[in-house]
Amino acid sequence: MSPAGAPGGTRGARPPARVDRPRRLAWEVLRAVDERGAYANLLLPSLLAGSGLSVRDRGFVTELAYGALRSQGTLDGVLDTATNRPVGEIDPPVRDALRLGAYQLLRTRVPPRAAVATTVDLVRATSGERPVRFANAVLRRVAARITETGGDLALLLGAPGFTADPIGHLAVVTAHPRWIVEAVVQALGGDFDEARAALAADDDRPAVHVVARPGRIDRESLLAEAEQAELAARPGPYSPYAVRLDGGDPARLPSVVSGAAAVQDEGSQLVALALADTATVGVDRGLTVDLCAGPGGKAAMLAGLLTGPGADASLLAIEPRAARANLVARSLRDTPRPSRLL
């Protein structure tokens, strides 16, 4: 007879790791981005749609996945201080789990013991028993260092002093390459306080922006849909087609489901608007070419702006990668005047 709690008669065998679904889904997003260059903003909503998770858990998945991706440079820097080998040499599945654990320790209110324990369970479930001790030791060191330094990134990452090397200091504590810091400081007239604020804002949790695709729905109708769906929304301040959501799932909007609207950053909308309004140099042949169209957000907006009723123009969308080309085709399929995809 097999001893109780020993499957298959193996005394002392460890039961399978139990991983809560929010952390597992966040890990799957990170792996998809790393392995196949997936678009997190397209993948995550599809994973959540069939997850059956509560609103609270869906929010936690979103925070973990987007937060860890956004803060990857900082997280890798923190992990590098707690490992005996470079982060880049850690097995990718384990590395992504460690990033999620470090993010919880550094940027959330999850208690340290819970952050470490759940990440260890995630490593065990996804990579087996072998890397478990390593993951546990690394995250315990990270938790201890965060406690010792009060979470001060300058201390955690060993940044150079601001007085001695302001560019180097900001590069480390904001996880930006030195040349970007230099460019931001120069653009802001050498004002380091403004530069620090701008670089820090680059790591802020972004609002969800939705685009009312030209020729398919207007912004007022999209705002009315948001009100009916009980989503807090307001017009975007820069793009006349933008709606900003203060929270909630944009998939609750019928126009997002139909493709008449889509999740698209307001800055991305401005790029399409700027191109559509730019005067042609030389003879205007009525053709606009998007040379790198995937995943199709800007192409769909351009199609609405350039090829709507009464317009004598066409759009050629070029995307060499098959998976991304399929996304472009999906975005363009219901444009007022079909565009060519190459």
Cα–Cα distance, 210 to 256 (Å, whole number): 8
Could you tell me how far CA 161 lies from the centroid of its own chain? Answer: 31
Candidates 2.60.120.330, 2.30.140.10, 1.10.940.10, 1.10.3210.10; CATH matching 15-149? 1.10.940.10
Long-range contacts made by residues 112-118, C-beta under 8 angstroms, separation at least 24? 112/143, 112/146, 112/147, 115/139, 115/143, 116/140, 116/143, 118/19, 118/20, 118/23
The 10s digit of each residue's pLDDT in 269-309 is 999 999 888 877 777 777 788 888 778 888 888 888 876 55
Common-topology check for domains 15-149 and 208-267: no
Domain boundary assignment for the chain: 15-149, 159-201, 208-267, 287-341
- pTM, entire model: 0.76
User: Which tokens go with 131?
Assistant: 């890397």
Q: Would you place residue 3 in the very low, low, confident or very high pLDDT band (cuts 50, 70, 90)?
A: very low
DSSP letter string, 224-236: HHHHHTT--EEE-
Top pLDDT among 283 and 5 is at 283
Domain 208-267: state its class: alpha beta
Mean pLDDT of 80-84: 93
Cα–Cα distance, 153 to 172 (Å, whole number): 8
Contact between 29 and 44 (Cβ < 8 Å): yes
User: Which tokens go with 191?
Assistant: 């004002």
Lowest mean pLDDT among 170-179, 197-206, 281-290, 333-342: 333-342
